Amino acid sequence: MDRLQCKACGSHSMLPMDLEADESDELDFMTDEHEARFFTCHVCGDNWLSVRRVEAGDCRITFVHQMGLQPLLKRTATMTTSIVLNEDTVDRWDYFLGDAEVGEGRWRDTLDERRRVLRSICTN
């Protein structure tokens, strides 16, 4: 599996892992129409979970950025196609801090601060 560049520390140590339904029973979202991948950096510890759900012709991809055990940052892309995720195929983005919906600017500021902290930990 190819290593990806980490957006927090910049190293090429981000590894994606597919989650199987039997491995994620406690997550309570896996069915045949769902697939999940967990990404983790082996240098700074940055990680997130992406879950793709296809329901009634719509596709939703949720990204959950974690710090510790609690999901802190979530964003969800709502699309009419389930093939490719890019700016042209996303109909709407929804941003959350915990369970509270927030604006994109606040969400991105929180994500930037989180990545700054992770970068400083691995460079000191």
Tokens found for residue 25: 């029973």
What per-residue confidence (pLDDT) applies to 74? 93
65-100 pLDDT tens trace? 876 656 689 999 888 766 666 667 788 899 999 889
Report the C-alpha gap between 7 and 4 in whole angstroms.
Answer: 9
Q: Sign of dihedral through CA atoms 62, 64, 69, 70?
A: negative
More confident residue, 21 or 110: 110
pLDDT in tens, 6-64: 988 888 999 888 776 554 444 444 444 578 889 998 888 888 898 888 877 788 889 99
Beta bridge pairs of residue 42: none
Domain boundaries, the chain: 14-123
DSSP state of 107: H
